Amino acid sequence: MAGQTLIVGNGAEEQKPNKAGLEGIVAATTALSNVDGQVGRLVYRGYDIHDLAHSTSFEEIAYLLWFGHLPKRSELAGLQASLLEQRQLSTDILTILRNLPAETAPMDTLRTAVSAWGMYANVQGQPTIEQAIALTARFPLILATFHRLRQGLEVLEPRADLSYTANYLYLLTGQEPKAEHIKGLDAYLVMLADHSMNASTFTARIVASTASDLASAVVAAICALKGPLHGGAADKAQEMLAEIGTAENAEPWIRATLSSGRRLMGFGHRAYKTTDPRAEELREMARQADPVGFAFARRVEELAVSILDEIKPGRRLYTNVDFYSAVLLSSVGIPIDLFTPTFAVARIAGWTAHILEQSANNRLIRPLAAYSGPASLAFVPLDQR
Ligand SMILES: CC(C)(COP(=O)(O)OP(=O)(O)OC[C@H]1O[C@@H](n2cnc3c(N)ncnc32)[C@H](O)[C@@H]1OP(=O)(O)O)[C@@H](O)C(=O)NCCC(=O)NCCS
């Protein structure tokens, strides 16, 4: 497409630059988060992710994104109480979850349950902070309930004495969650809560810009997150590590994969042209959480970055968030097919904050397309073709 003559919406012919995938295009203004991909910096409302990762909880970050500042203790307690009040699934949603085939993909389960919640809760009109809280509180419940049901286990009652993260782990496993697992998963949820104009957030903002409702915008975001080029990469990275199997097999496996034209999952990023700062944090967390799994993953990472540089010079392909997410999520006991849904358990905070931001200062998002089809063909009626 580069340099082609194309016809834009008003009929004029123009030389359009190659912006496949809207690369480099500023599509919205946001005060929520910023990615500086050249130096590998991510901020939420001005705060560096390295400062937030281990010193804040997911609830604090949701507060920061929704309300614009880090909460005082009393403000945090208020939000925790509101989330707790919403920590429940109605019988209608439970019935839907009970009737889903056990082999349903968890992202499909989440999409279906959120859509049903929007209908049963009559989520209509301008998105509200109350709707954002109500839906966020339900994400872990939907996934953990489905995970129990598909194993033929009893659904557990959510626990009011546990945090958002601890309650998710408890509902998944039925065990008292270990302090280090809660800490690890909470830091993961903090780091994945928002990420500027990623594909699922952009999708949510587009839907919100049509003055549609919050549940619809979140359903659309879930659909976008599901794809392996976006949120679906962590489980693929885990599968890749399992397929490689041993450190000795890593180099031949990577070379064979790249020469067959396939991609290495957990590497490369549209915005980061250096290591993703979340990957740096996750690398250290994985080192602590699972030293053996970490040592192998680290070897694969070093080889992958060096071979990518050799085979794809100048593309600047480094480790992204999904590579060490795989090691960390495994170490805290999240099943592989819940990796992407657990990403959603974090990102629901960012999605809803973006939906609220978009709808508070809305203009319909409606770009143009550069038309590349024939300009003017003579119409031939059906029976003469
Ligand atoms: C994330 C991703 C979709 C970004 O893609 P993008 O910005 O559109 O980059 P492109 O698809 O244009 O790729 C640019 C070049 O790098 C190569 N490349 C990018 N990521 C690669 C990867 N993970 N493995 C091998 N090659 C890769 C492409 O083949 C392309 O090479 P070419 O110039 O010879 O055609 C891409 O890096 C990718 O597919 N990564 C693997 C999936 C993944 O980890 N996703 C999670 C993202 S957080």
Residue that is written with structure tokens 């810009």 in the block: 209
pLDDT tens-place string over residues 121-159: 999 999 999 999 999 999 999 999 999 999 999 999 999
**What is the best residue among 22, 229, 230, 325 to mutate for testing ligand 1's pocket, by most ligand atoms within 8 Å of CB?**
229
Rounded distance between C-alpha atoms, residue 153 and residue 231, angstroms: 28
Whether the pLDDT of residue 3 is over 50: the answer is no
138 to 152, 153, 166, 251: CA distances (angstroms): 21, 19, 14, 43
% of the chain at pLDDT higher than 90: 90
Give the mean pLDDT of 183-198. 97
To the query of whether residue 36 is one of the catalytic residues in this protein, the response is no
pLDDT at 232: 83
Q: Are strands 33-36 and 13-15 parallel, antiparallel or unpaired?
A: unpaired
Q: How far is the CA of 274 from the centre of ligand 1 (A)?
A: 13
What is the position in ligand 1's atom list of the atom closest to the CA of 268?
Answer: 37
pTM of the model: 0.92
Q: What is the rounded average pLDDT for all residues in the chain? A: 94
What are the two backbone dihedrals, phi and then psi, of residue 119, each rounded to the nearest 5 degrees?
-75, -50
Q: Give residue 4's pLDDT band: very low, low, confident or very high (50, 70, 90).
A: very low
Whether the pLDDT of residue 340 is over 70: the answer is yes
Q: Give residue 19's pLDDT band: very low, low, confident or very high (50, 70, 90).
A: confident
Q: Whose CA is nearest to atom 11 of ligand 1?
A: 270
For 201-227, give one letter per residue: b (16+ CB within 10 A) or e: bbbbbbbbbeebbbbbbbbbbbebbbe
pLDDT at 16: 55
pLDDT tens-place string over residues 31-46: 999 999 999 999 999 9
Q: Which structure tokens are listed for 242?
A: 């399992």
Q: Give residue 15's pLDDT band: very low, low, confident or very high (50, 70, 90).
A: very low
What is the position in ligand 1's atom list of the atom closest to the CA of 266?
Answer: 44
Give the mean pLDDT of 225-252. 93
pLDDT tens-place string over residues 293-324: 899 999 999 999 999 999 999 999 999 999 99
To the query of whether residue 69 is one of the catalytic residues in this protein, the response is no
Q: Are 109 and 129 in contact (CB under 8 A)?
A: no
Residues having CB closer than 6 A to ligand 1 are 21, 229, 233, 258, 263-270, 312, 315, 317, 320-322
Rounded distance between C-alpha atoms, residue 352 and residue 356, angstroms: 6
147, 181, 195, 269: the active-site residue: 269
Q: Whose CA is nearest to atom 35 of ligand 1?
A: 312
What is the position in ligand 1's atom list of the atom closest to the CA of 198?
Answer: 48
What is the position in ligand 1's atom list of the atom closest to the CA of 23?
Answer: 7
> What's the gap between Cα 138 and its chain centre?
17
pLDDT at 234: 87
